[in-house]
């Protein structure tokens, strides 16, 4: 009969602390799993970026981005982005406006730049690279912006 009088008793303070601790541990496990997934995605992207070549599909995406910008009445579009860590100097030359920034490119970014040099520049396009975000105050991603605005008189 003594079991019946404890049936309506509230959980002990120790039980509540254990529940809270378990929730915190579950949340930490979830964050750890998400971080691991993000790290794997970045590693996969970096491997693809550094080892594979620009595909026809990626070129088609650039063309669609430009076409959509034209339809919207714009003279510029961001056509490609990648982590600044994938530059040989982690994006420092791009961030500081160094005119030799193209020498820091590698992988697909270098291929895109070389395609611009071969096809875009002779057709009157301009290309600029910019750091587009600063997570934690450090250069994050690089954006390539293609521009077709008329020359200023």
pLDDT reported for residue 153: 64
- Residues 106-142 have pLDDT tens digits of 999 999 999 999 999 999 999 999 999 999 998 999 9
What are the residue ranges spanned by the domains of the chain?
13-49, 53-147
User: Percentage of the chain with pLDDT > 90?
Assistant: 77
Please enumerate, as own/partner, the contacts of 94-103 that have beta carbons within 8 Å and a separation of 24 or more: 94/129, 94/130, 94/131, 94/139, 94/142, 95/131, 95/139, 101/129
pLDDT at 3 over 60: no
Q: Is this model's pTM higher than 0.85 or not?
A: no
Terminus-to-terminus CA distance in the chain, angstroms?
97
63-84 pLDDT tens trace: 999 999 999 999 999 999 999 9
Mind listing the pLDDT tens digit for each residue in 11-66? 999 999 999 999 999 999 999 999 888 888 888 888 888 889 999 999 999 999 99
CB crowding 66-96: b at 16 or more within 10 Å, else e: beebeeeeeeebebbbbbbebbeeebebbbe
Burial class (CB in 10 A: 0-12, 13-18, 19+), 51: exposed
Identify the CA nearest to 33 among candidates 25, 23, 21.
25
Q: Which segments within the chain are labelled E, that is strand?
A: 76-83, 126-131, 141-147
Q: Is the pLDDT of residue 2 over 80?
A: no
Q: What is the CA radius of gyration of the chain?
A: 26
């Amino acid at each position: 009969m003594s079991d019946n009088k404890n049936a309506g008793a509230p959980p002990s303070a120790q039980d509540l602390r254990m529940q809270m601790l378990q929730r915190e541990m579950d949340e930490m496990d979830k964050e750890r799993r998400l971080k691991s997934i993000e790290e794997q995605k970045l590693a996969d992207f970096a491997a693809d970026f550094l080892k594979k070549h620009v595909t026809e599909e990626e070129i088609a995406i650039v063309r669609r981005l430009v076409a959509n910008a034209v339809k919207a009445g714009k003279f510029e579009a961001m056509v490609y982005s990648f982590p600044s860590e994938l530059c040989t100097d982690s994006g420092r030359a791009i961030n500081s406006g160094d005119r030799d920034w193209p020498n820091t490119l590698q992988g697909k970014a270098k291929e895109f730049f070389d395609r611009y040099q071969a096809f875009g520049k002779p057709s009157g396009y301009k290309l600029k690279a910019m750091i587009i975000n600063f997570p934690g105050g450090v250069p994050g991603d690089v954006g390539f912006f293609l521009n077709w605005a008329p020359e200023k008189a």
